[in-house]
Amino acid sequence: MSINSLNHAEMSDVSSKWDFKDETASNLTDYKKQQAEARRKIEMMREIRESGLTLEEARDLGLLH
């Protein structure tokens, strides 16, 4: 998809409906934050496995902390 094929009027209409409080995670419970972090870690591990890297290689590359 090219940047020229985007409907800028539609994008600006959608962006005007965004609310800043929807973008902040301060109103989420600690449990929900932990769930989200766990999902991100699982997805990262899947991507590392699919790439063919070992865990040691991923650590060496700074992908795992």
Average pLDDT over residues 32-46: 91
Widest distance between CA atoms in the chain: 48
Average pLDDT over residues 10-35: 68
Domain membership of residue 49 (yes or no) is: yes
| 45, two tokens | 């591990």
Q: CA distances (Å), 12 to each of 1, 6, 15, 32, 61, in order?
A: 18, 11, 5, 30, 39
Average pLDDT over residues 10-15: 65
Cβ(61)–Cβ(53) below 8 Å: yes
Domain membership of residue 53 (yes or no) is: yes
Domain membership of residue 39 (yes or no) is: yes
pTM to 2 decimal places: 0.49
Domain membership of residue 6 (yes or no) is: no
For 1-15, 23-37, 47-61, which range has the lowest pLDDT when averaged over its residues? Answer: 1-15
Read off the pLDDT band of 23 (50, 70, 90).
Answer: low
- Number of structural domains in the chain: 1
Question: Could you give the angle at the alpha carbon of 64 between the alpha carbons of 60 and 65, nearest 5°?
Answer: 100
DSSP 26: T
Domain membership of residue 3 (yes or no) is: no
Per-residue pLDDT for 17 more than 90? no
